[in-house]
Structure 1
Amino acid sequence: MSAKGKKRVLENPEDSPGTPEKKTRTTKTNAAKNTKSTEKGVNGKTSDKATTSGKENKLNGKTSTANKDKKDNTVAKENGISKEKVDKSLSKIKVSHRSHGSVMKKGVVLTCGEGDVGQLGLGEDIMEKSRPAFVELPDPIIQVAAGGMHTVCLTDKGTIYTFGCNDEGGLGRDTSVEGSETRPAKVDLPYKIVQVSAGDSHTAALTEDGKVFAWGNFRDANGSIGLTKSGIEKNPSPLLANEVVVKISSGVDHLTCLTDKGDLYTLGCAEQGQLGRLAECFTNRGGRKGLENLLKPGIVRCKRYKSRKLAKFSDVWTGQYSTFVEEKETGDIYGWGLNNYYQLGFADMENRFAPERIESFCRGVKWDVINGGQHHTIALDTDGKVYCLGRADYGRLGLGENCGEKSEPTLIPGLEKTKCLHVDAGGCASFAIDENGDIYAWGMGTTKQLGSGSEDDIFVPTKMVGKALSTRNGLCISGGGQHTVILAQDIPNTNS
C-alpha cells in the first residue's frame, strides 16, 4: 500500500474485543505507523497504544464575502437568532471566569510530538519533534488548545490562529493552498475571543460577551454526525444565541458550555454518556429523535445531593469521553461518561449517562482542575497537589511501572514536594507545570508528545527539557491526540 493510503485507527473508547473501530483517517505522508502491537489488558481489554492520524483534504477555494455572510445568516437563524441580533447582543455584557486565558500571562508557543498533518505548526517538511520547538506567531499568546490532530492558539488581542488537520473543518479557515494548514493562520471572527477549546475534529470559541462559536465536526462509532443540523461546519457558526456563556470545554467529540446562571449545555456524541442528558436508549445517533437530539445544545439537569433543588454549576471540565462539573453551593463534584477503567472515580466500571455525585472527589479536597485522557483522569487541588485515577498502562498515572488501576483520586508522590499550577492529559499521557515554571510529563512516549527526546514510556513525573525550554518557563500545556502544545514565557535576563 502506498504511503498515501496508510491509515491510523483511533483507539476504541470502550476498548473491548469485538467492538467496531470508532473511525479512521487517511494521511498523505508515510509518517502513519502503528505504535505498538495490540495487547490484552485487564478483564480482556485491549491496548490503547495505537494513535491517530489524519488527512489533509483541502477546502474548495475561498468562500466569497457575500456567500459567507449568507451562510452565517442561515446558520444563525437555524440556531434561533439572526446575525444582526447576534452582533447587537455582543455589545451588552462582559463575561469572566477563572479559566479564561489560562493564567492570563502572555507567552510563546512550543510544540512536540508527531506532526504529519501539520499540527506542530512548523511547516510541511517537519513531521515530528521529540523535543519542544518554537512556533512562529505574529502576536503574544494567552491560551493554547490541542485537538486530536490540530492546534488552536488564542492571542492577547482576542484573535485565533489554527494549524493542523483540516479534513473536517477543524481549523475554521481556508486551506486550499498547498501546505497552508501546516503554518499558523488567522480564523476570521470579528469578535474578541477570551477562551478556546478543541476536540478531535472540532474547535469552539467564547467571545468576551458570552457568545459561543464552533466549527468542524463531531463523530461517533459509525462516522460523521455533523456539528449542527446543517452538518459539518467549515466556518465559525453561532451556538446558544440566547444564553450568556462563561466557559467552554471540549471532549474528543462533545462540547460543554457553562452559562452565567450556572446551567450547563452539552452537544455532540453521546455514546458513552458524555452529554449527561440522554437516556442510554437515545445515545445512538439520538435514537428515534434523530441527530437533532445530539446537535442542538441541551441543558443538563440534576438535583443537588440530598436535596430536591436543581443543582447549579460553577465549573466544568472534560475528559475525552467524560464530563465533570463543580456544584455551585457545595463544591461537590459530579461526573458522567465513560468509566470502563474507573476514570470517573466510581468503583463499579459502569458508564454514567446522567450526572452523579462522585464520592471519591467529595472528601474535603477543593479542586481547581480536573482533566481527562481516554482512560485516565488527572486532577489538581487548590493547594497545588496533583492526583490521578483510571488506567495505569504505559505510566499515564505517574505512580510507577508496577501500579494498577485506581478508582479514586490518588496523590502522585513524584510531585508532592512541589506546588503545581496547571495539569492536563493527552490520550495516554499526563502533564503538570509547577510554580517555578518547570514542566513535567509522563505516560506513553511512542508519539514523542512527552518531549523527552525518545519514544520510551515514562512511569513517573519527569521534567521536560530542551533548547527551547532552557530560557523559558511553562505557563500552560495541552495534550492532543499525538502532539503536545506548550505556552511558555521567556525568563527575564537578570545579568543585563
Structure 2
Amino acid sequence: MVQARQFSGKIACWGNGDQGRLGLGTAGGSAVPCLVGALMDACFAGVSCGGAHTAAVAEDGSAYLWGLNDRGQLAQGDETPFLQVPREALVPEAIVQVACGSRHTLFLSDSHCVWAAGDNRRGQLGLGKQLSGNQALPRRVQALVGTKITSITAGAEHSMAVSDSGELFTWGNGTRGCLGHGVSAAGYHEDEHAPRLVRSLAGRHITFAAAGLANSGCIDQNGTAYLWGPLLRQSLGSTASEVDRPEPVQGVQHAVQLAIGGCHALIQKHNGAVASYGANEYGVLGHGSDPTSKGMYPVDIKDIRFEQVACGWRHNAGVENGRLWAWGWGGSVGSDSAVFPQHTSSGGQLGLGNEFDYWKPTAVQDLVDEEQKSLPASSWGAMSVSCGLNHTAALIKL
C-alpha cells in the first residue's frame, strides 16, 4: 500500500466515500476518478489507501491525510472522528513515504526513520508494550533508530520495513503467522509490539515487501518472491491452512514487485508481466471467464504488461504506460457493509463508472476535476496507484 517518491503529480480518488476517505469534502462516493481539489496547489510524490483513510506525500516532504480518524490514524493529535478534506499530518520530519493500514499509518522520513500513528492495540505501531493504546500524534519507532530504513508497508493490523542492507522487519498482529517468525515457545503466533527481524530470510537481501489483509510477502535481489500467512491456495491433500515463515512462490522468476489483497496476490516480473495467485472471487485474478483459472498456482495475466500494480481487499489496479487499469470487485454486491454493517455507501472502486465486477483488466477512461468536469483522456496520465478496502487513489500527471 506504499508508493515511493518518483514523480510530481496530483491526487485523484474514487470508490466508497464513507468517512470522507476520498477527500472531496463530502461522504459521497464516486464511480470515476476525481481530482482532490484541496490538494491541487501542491505537487505530490506518492499516495496510499488504508481501510477507510488515505494519505499523500508532497514533494516538499509534507504529508496530508483524510478519512476515518477513530484511532488517531490521521496523525492530527486528536481523535476527531473523520476528516472529509485533507489536512497536513503533525510529523516533525520531512516525509518520503507513507503506508496506511486498516486503522494505523506509518511514515518514513528523509532521515530513514519510521514514525507511526493510530491504532496500536496489536502492536502495529512498533512502539513497545508500554504504549498499547491509540496514538494520535506520530511517534518515532525507537527500535529502528540506527537502522537505515528504505521502505515501509502496512497490512490491516501489521507492519513491515526493509533496510538498506536488505533486512526485513515485521511487527503487529501475528495471527496465522503473517509476521513470518514461526511459533513461540508456547506454540502460538504471537503479536510483536516492536519491529523484529525475520531471521529465516538472513542472507537473502530483500528489495521489496508487501502486506495484505492478513498475508505478507517480499522479493529478494535474485527475483525470488516469498509469501506467508494464511495460504492463498493449498495443494491437494495438504491439511495446512497457513505458512508461518517465508516460503518461495513456485513457478515465478525475476519478480520485481508484489501486491497482496484479501485472499490473492499479484507478482510483477521484470518484463512487466503480472502473475496472479489465490482465490478468484469477483474476478480478482484477472483471467476473465477462463474456467481453468483456479488460482492454485501463479498464472500470468494475458496481453498486458504493467509498470506498477496494487491490490485492495477484493479489487486491483495497475499502471501501464500512463494508462490506468482496474479489475475485480466493483461493489455490485453491496458495499463494505459485510465488514461495517452501519455503512452502506456505494462501491465504484474500479473507477469504471459503475459498480459492476470486471474479471479482467479494463482501462479507466474518465477523470473529472474538482468541479466535476471531465478531462480529455489525452490531458492526463497515471503514474502510480493504491487500493484500499473499498476505495482507490492514484498519482496523476496533468
Q: TM-score, normalised by structure 1?
A: 0.69
Residue 94 of structure 2 aligns with which residue?
A: 192
* TM-score relative to the length of structure 2: 0.85
Greater strand proportion: 2
**Structure-to-structure mapping, 1:365-404, within 5 angstroms:** 365-403=253-291, 404=293
Per-residue deviation at 1:283? 8.2
Residues 346 and 407 of structure 1 are in contact (CA less than 8 Å); yes or no, is this contact kept in structure 2?
A: no
Q: CA deviation at 1:178?
A: 8.1
SS for the counterpart of 1:302 is: helix
Q: 1:331 to 1:283 in 2, by over 3 A?
A: farther
Q: 1:323 to 1:213 in 2, by over 3 A?
A: same
Number of the residue aligned with 2:339 = none
Cα distance, 1:187 vs structure 2: 0.6
Match of 1:355 in 2: 246
Q: 2: distance between equivalents of 1:183 and 1:377?
A: 32
Indicate whether 1:298 and 2:298 are aligned.
Answer: no
1:269 aligns with 2:173: yes
Q: Which residue of 1 aligns with 2:296?
A: 407
Letter in 1 for 2:353: G
Q: Is the Cα contact below 8 Å between 1:367 and 1:381 reproduced in 2?
A: yes
1:171-186 aligned at under 5 Å gives the runs 171-174=74-77, 181-186=83-88
* Map of 2:10 onto structure 1: 108
Equivalence for 2:154: 250
Q: CA RMSD in A?
A: 2.5
> How far, CA to CA, are the matches of 2:251 and 2:118 in structure 1?
35
Instruction: Determine if contact 1:398/1:461 at 8 Å carries over to the other structure.
Output: yes
Shift of 1:175: 5.8
Identity of aligned residues (%): 26
Aligned-partner Cα distance in 1 for 2:394–2:187: 35
Equivalent residues of 2:119, 2:125 under 8 A apart = yes
CA contact (8 A) 1:172 1:215 kept: yes
Give the letter for the 1:338 counterpart: P
SS in 1 for 2:99: strand
Taking the aligned partners of 1:105 and 1:357, their CA distance within structure 2 comes to 32
Structure 2 partner of 1:209: 111
Q: Residue 317 of structure 1: CA displacement?
A: 2.0
Letter in 1 for 2:72: G
Q: Is the 8 A contact 2:69 2:80 kept in 1?
A: no
Q: Which structure: larger Rg?
A: 1
Counterparts of 1:122-271 in structure 2 under 5 Å? 122-124=24-26, 126-135=27-36, 136-137=38-39, 138-174=41-77, 181-218=83-120, 228=127, 229=129, 230-231=131-132, 232-239=134-141, 240-271=144-175
User: Tell me, what secondary structure is at the counterpart of 2:285?
Assistant: coil
* CA–CA separation in structure 2 for the residues paired with 1:284 and 1:424: 31
The Cα shift of 1:430 comes to 1.2
1:452 matched to 2:343? The reply is no
For 1:408 and 1:214, the matched residues in 2 are separated by 35
Shift of 1:347: 9.7
2:311 is the alignment partner of 1:425: yes
TM-superposition CA deviations, 1:111-150 (whole Å, max 9, x none):
11111111000113x4111111110214111100000000
Matched residue pairs, number?
365
> What amino acid does structure 2 have at the position aligned with 1:398?
G
Cα distance in 1 between the residues matched to 2:176 and 2:271: 32
Contact residue 414 and residue 460 of structure 1 kept, 8 A: no
- Aligned match of 2:392: 484
CA contact (8 A) 2:124 2:171 kept: no
- Amino acid aligned to 1:327: D
Alignment match, 2:340? none
**Aligned counterparts, 1:64-83, within 5 A:** none
Relative distance call for 1:331 and 1:452 in structure 2 (3 A) is closer
**What letter matches 1:152 in structure 2?**
A
User: Which protein has the bigger helix share?
Assistant: 1
Whole-angstrom distance in 2 between the partners of 1:370 and 1:177: 34
CA contact (8 A) 2:78 2:136 kept: no
Structure 1 runs of 4+ with >4 Å offset: 174-179, 224-227, 280-285, 345-349
Contact kept in structure 1, 2:178 and 2:229, CA below 8 Å: yes
Which residue does 2:204 correspond to in 1? 311
Structure 2 residue identity aligned to 1:249: T
User: Is 1:322 aligned to 2:195, yes or no?
Assistant: no
Q: For the residues of structure 2 that align with 1:169 and 1:346, how far apart are their CA atoms?
A: 44
Residue 24 of structure 1 is matched in structure 2 by none
- Counterpart-to-counterpart distance in 2, 1:160 and 1:111: 16
Structure 1 140/389 Cα, relative in aligned 2: closer, same or farther at 3 Å?
same
Alpha-carbon separation, structure 1, partners of 2:14 and 2:236 = 34
Report the secondary structure of 2:298's partner residue: strand
Tell me the SS of whatever aligns to 2:105. strand
Partners of 1:123 and 1:283 lie apart in 2 by: 48
Displacement of 1:371 in angstroms is 0.3
